[in-house]
């Protein structure tokens, strides 16, 4: 084992199926490769190669030693495409059912599935990690704003529950095509329905709390720890999404534990990876160092970020609003990290009038 070097080996695949009502496209990419990167350095220095190239680790290490500043050398810049359609039987059944529901509705469906195993080796440790996930995206191909929904397809969720979500999404996307009377531009109090506000907090808290984005307006590096950022009733947690013990590690071998980013309204923690935690002042590791694949340098990224239950009821919140919006569906979201501006594409909502939800303007 080479001193102050991490060896990251990945083996697995990603399969993606898209269907737009006419044409079906299937793409499978192999995630088989190795990367070496220097540790305890102020620079991002890494060498990556695919397994099929059969380049030896000693040769990769020789190249790594020649890198003096930031530099990530890759033998192949993209994952290899294969002719295999690798999909578990249960996902094949799900895909056929969703395809039947969406037929003729001008909706595009995209189902992706990834499964891989990872070995992370340093002079001190040799760790193994396995992970599998699936995601279903449904979007309206006639909407220029890119109206889409993400449906959670995890492996402890029943087929029946997934299909209920799919049918609800199809209904919402169809109904959202007709707008009755859009509200005039202005400022309105807003309530996000259960499960909807996560998109907002994902953008304005999750990404901004990643230590690799120190320039973000709401970053704890900018505002300071323990700074009051939200109401006292708000606590936001980033947790693992492991189904087995072999999934409770990040892509640097750090154990992922639950951490509160916001605790009772105050900034409590950052999301960190090894490189940026050391660069920004020796912050503790939270297990959020993640890679898109062996080709990518690890960065701090969220896992399962959510808002904990508060003390107030929905009725109490509604009664506080004379006239405003009750948001039930968000299809796209974006946050300008430098300015803090948030852009949400709403495709299902109701008007709040004197505490009552009524007169939906997205029919």
* Identity of the highest mean pLDDT range in 105-109, 115-119, 170-174: 115-119
Least confident of 171-175, 275-279, 352-356: 171-175
Sequence spans of domains, the chain: 5-31+79-175, 190-358
Is pLDDT above 50 for 74? yes
**Residues of the chain above pLDDT 70, percent:** 92
| For range 147-153, the mean pLDDT | 76
Is pLDDT above 90 for 72? no
Question: So what's the pLDDT on residue 262?
Answer: 95
Q: Residue for token digits 């297990």?
A: 287
Beta bridge pairs of residue 30: 13, 80
Q: Are 326 and 360 a contacting pair, CB within 8 Å?
A: no
Query: Would you tell me the crossing angle of helices 159-175 and 89-102 to the nearest 10 degrees?
Result: 30
Burial class (CB in 10 A: 0-12, 13-18, 19+), 113: buried
Question: So what's the pLDDT on residue 298?
Answer: 94
Question: So what's the pLDDT on residue 363?
Answer: 41
Question: So what's the pLDDT on residue 204?
Answer: 86
Least confident of 74-83, 87-96, 220-229, 287-296: 74-83
Q: Which residues of 197-229 are buried (b: 16+ CB within 10 A; e: fewer)?
A: bbbbbebbbbbbbbbbbeebbbbbbeeeeeeeb
Q: Are 274 and 39 a contacting pair, CB within 8 Å?
A: yes
Question: So what's the pLDDT on residue 244?
Answer: 62
* Identity of the highest mean pLDDT range in 9-18, 123-132, 191-200, 347-356: 9-18
Residue pLDDT, tens place only, 248-266: 889 999 988 899 999 999 9
Residue pLDDT, tens place only, 205-246: 889 999 988 888 888 988 999 999 999 999 999 988 766 666
Q: How many CB atoms lie within 10 A of CB 311?
A: 7
Burial class (CB in 10 A: 0-12, 13-18, 19+), 309: exposed
Q: 251: Cβ–Cβ under 8 A, 6 or more apart, which residues?
A: 8, 118, 120, 129, 289, 290, 291, 298
| For range 332-341, the mean pLDDT | 81
Give the helix/strand (H/E) hosting 356: strand 356-358
Q: 318: Cβ–Cβ under 8 A, 6 or more apart, which residues?
A: 191, 326, 352, 355, 356, 357
Burial class (CB in 10 A: 0-12, 13-18, 19+), 74: middle
Is pLDDT above 60 for 16? yes
Residue pLDDT, tens place only, 25-41: 889 999 999 999 999 88
Question: DSSP 3-state assignment of 278?
Answer: helix
pTM confidence score? 0.83
Query: How many helical (H) and strand (E) elements, i.e. helices and strands, does the chain have?
Result: 7, 19
Single out the residue of 281, 275, 263 nearest to residue 221, CA to CA: 281
Question: So what's the pLDDT on residue 120?
Answer: 95
């Amino acid at each position: 084992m080479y001193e102050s070097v991490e060896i990251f080996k990945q083996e697995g695949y990603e399969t993606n199926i898209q269907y737009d009502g006419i044409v079906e496209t299937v793409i499978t990419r192999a995630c088989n490769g190795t990367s070496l990167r220097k540790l305890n350095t102020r620079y991002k220095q890494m060498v990556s190669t695919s397994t099929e190239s059969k380049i030896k680790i000693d040769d990769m290490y020789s190249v790594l030693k020649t890198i003096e500043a930031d530099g990530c050398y890759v033998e192949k810049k993209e994952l290899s495409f294969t002719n295999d359609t690798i999909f578990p039987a249960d996902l094949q059944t799900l895909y056929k059912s969703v395809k039947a529901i969406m037929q003729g509705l001008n909706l595009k469906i995209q189902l992706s599935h990834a499964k891989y195993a990872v070995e992370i080796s340093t002079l001190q440790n040799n760790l193994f990690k396995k992970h599998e996930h699936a995601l279903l995206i449904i979007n309206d191909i006639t909407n220029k704003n890119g109206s889409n929904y993400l449906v959670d397809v995890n492996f402890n969720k029943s087929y029946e529950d997934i299909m209920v979500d799919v049918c609800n999404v199809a209904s919402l996307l169809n109904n959202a095509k007709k707008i009755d009377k859009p509200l005039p531009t202005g400022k309105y109090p807003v309530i996000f329905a259960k499960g909807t506000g996560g998109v907002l907090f994902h953008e304005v808290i999750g990404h901004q709390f990643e230590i690799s984005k120190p320039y973000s307006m709401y970053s704890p590096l900018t505002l300071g720890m323990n700074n009051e950022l939200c109401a006292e009733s708000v606590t936001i947690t980033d947790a693992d999404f492991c189904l087995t013990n072999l999934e409770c590690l990040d892509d640097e071998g750090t154990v992922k534990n639950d951490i509160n980013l916001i605790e009772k309204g105050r900034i409590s923690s950052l999301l960190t990876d090894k490189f940026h935690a050391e660069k920004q002042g020796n912050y503790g590791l939270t297990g959020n160092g993640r890679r898109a694949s062996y080709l990518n340098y690890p960065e701090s990224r969220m896992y399962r970020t959510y808002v904990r239950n508060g003390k107030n009821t929905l009725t109490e919140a509604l009664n506080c609003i004379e006239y405003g919006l009750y948001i039930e569906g968000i299809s796209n979201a974006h946050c300008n990290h430098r300015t803090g501006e948030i852009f949400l594409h709403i495709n299902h909502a109701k008007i709040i009038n004197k505490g009552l939800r009524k007169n939906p303007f997205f029919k």
